[in-house]
């Protein structure tokens, strides 16, 4: 009798790209629910819109590139990119801006570089940065968190605002939008106000902006799930948070009135989401253990530097993109010592 010749190993493979991406999507659920709770239906609408755009965009490009479409769509990586981007966008952003960002992320940043595994930059962050530099006003018009929002919009109102720009009667933009805590802190610090003064405002909670400060916890919960399922390792999130925290604590220690407390940085903006879901994107991150520590810590430090002295209130996207550039070099210089070798492998 004759049998097929197949190479080893002959085991059932426990792992797949789809499984990895599916866990990332599942781990986003607590954070998404929290975001929706605090910031309204716009979050979900943008998630759906971004996902549809990403899948359609990926399918079209794959067809143009004459590559099999279904296997690539089934890996769910386009969905993950879309969801991460939607979570970073202001909830009331006009629909076409989201479409532009997602198309840029999927078509240019991902597919034009060869598709999954070949893109040097994180597509979601590159798309986000494109929108941030192109539509700075729209991209910084967030909504106030639920407890501070005098005019919460219902789903239909939100839908209508996103797709037609039609505000409910009697409301204007200023009534439905607000700056993010990072933005507010920055603006006020630029006006030479002391942090103790700034924090008098009802906008502030225990250590960050009200509402905002609790969203991070839910993303953190998802991140712990990813750690537990070994979809990610602790190296990048921990080093990134540590890098940011060390910088923040240091400058807070030097001058408490112009530099916010460390936890403010950790639980503001995209820090937690970035640490567990974005910086850990395997394709664009460093892959050696030592390299991941350097990569993560550098993102943390860069986030602090850009937030404090740079031109933008949040900096996770810029920091991640800058470190994407450095990842291959970091990998090269941080090769582990191979079994039976005395020295580093990179000599």
Contact footprint for other proteins (CB under 8 A)? 1-17, 19-20, 71, 75, 77, 114-118, 230, 233, 282-283, 285, 287-289, 331, 335-342, 345
Q: Exposed (0-12), middle (13-18) or buried (19+): which is 249, by Cβ within 10 Å? A: middle
Supply the minimum distance, in Å, between the C-beta of residue 72 and other proteins: 8
Supply the minimum distance, in Å, between the C-beta of residue 52 and other proteins: 23
Supply the minimum distance, in Å, between the C-beta of residue 129 and other proteins: 21
Both structure tokens of 280: 């850990």
Q: Residue 208 CA to chain centroid, in angstroms? A: 19
Residue with Cβ nearer other proteins (6 or 254)? 6
Distance CA 163, CA 94 (A): 6
Residue with Cβ nearer other proteins (74 or 151)? 74
Residue with Cβ nearer other proteins (16 or 134)? 16
Name the one residue in this structure whose structure tokens are 């112009």.
258
Distance CA 272, CA 244 (A): 11
Alpha carbons within 13 A on the beta-carbon side of 228: 8
Supply the minimum distance, in Å, between the C-beta of residue 4 and other proteins: 6
Residue with Cβ nearer other proteins (2 or 192)? 2
Supply the minimum distance, in Å, between the C-beta of residue 337 and other proteins: 7
At a CB cut-off of 8 Å and minimum separation 6, what does 121 contact?
Answer: 109, 284, 321, 324, 325
Alpha carbons within 13 A on the beta-carbon side of 114: 6
Residue with Cβ nearer other proteins (202 or 340)? 340
Supply the minimum distance, in Å, between the C-beta of residue 78 and other proteins: 13
Residue with Cβ nearer other proteins (268 or 286)? 286
Distance CA 239, CA 221 (A): 18
Backbone angles phi, psi at 245, to 5 degrees: -65, -45
Q: Identify any residues that bridge with 209 across adjacent strands, giving them in sequence order.
A: 204
């Amino acid at each position: 009798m004759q049998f097929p010749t197949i190479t080893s190993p002959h085991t059932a493979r426990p792992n797949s790209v789809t499984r990895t991406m599916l866990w990332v999507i599942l781990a986003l659920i607590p954070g998404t629910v929290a975001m929706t709770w605090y910031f309204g239906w716009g979050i979900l609408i943008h998630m759906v819109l971004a996902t549809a755009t990403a899948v359609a965009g990926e399918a079209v490009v794959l067809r143009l590139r004459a590559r099999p479409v279904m296997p690539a769509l089934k890996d769910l990586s386009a969905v993950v990119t879309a969801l991460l981007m939607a979570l970073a966008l202001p909830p009331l952003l006009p629909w076409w801006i989201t479409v532009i960002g997602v198309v840029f992320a999927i078509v240019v940043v991902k597919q034009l570089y060869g598709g999954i595994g070949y893109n040097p930059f994180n597509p979601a962050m590159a798309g986000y940065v494109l929108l941030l530099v192109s539509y700075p006003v729209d991209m910084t018009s967030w909504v106030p968190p639920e407890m501070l929002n005098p005019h919460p919009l219902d789903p239909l109102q939100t839908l209508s605002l996103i797709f037609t720009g039609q505000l409910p009667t009697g409301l204007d933009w200023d009534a439905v939008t607000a700056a993010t805590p990072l933005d507010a802190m920055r603006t006020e610090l630029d006006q030479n106000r002391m942090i103790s003064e700034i924090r008098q405002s009802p906008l502030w909670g225990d250590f960050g902006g009200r509402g905002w400060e609790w969203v991070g916890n839910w993303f953190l919960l998802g991140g712990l799930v990813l750690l537990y399922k070994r979809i990610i390792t602790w190296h990048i999130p921990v080093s990134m948070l540590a890098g940011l925290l060390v910088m923040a604590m240091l400058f807070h220690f030097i001058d408490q009135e112009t530099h916010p407390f460390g936890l403010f940085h950790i639980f503001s903006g995209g820090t937690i989401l970035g640490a567990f879901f974005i910086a850990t994107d395997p394709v664009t991150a460093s892959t050696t253990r030592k390299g991941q520590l350097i990569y993560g810590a550098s993102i943390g430090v860069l986030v602090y530097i850009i937030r404090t002295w740079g031109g933008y209130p949040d900096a996770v996207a810029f920091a991640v993109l800058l470190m994407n550039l450095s990842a291959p070099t970091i990998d090269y210089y941080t090769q582990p010592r191979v079994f039976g070798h005395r020295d580093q492998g990179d000599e």
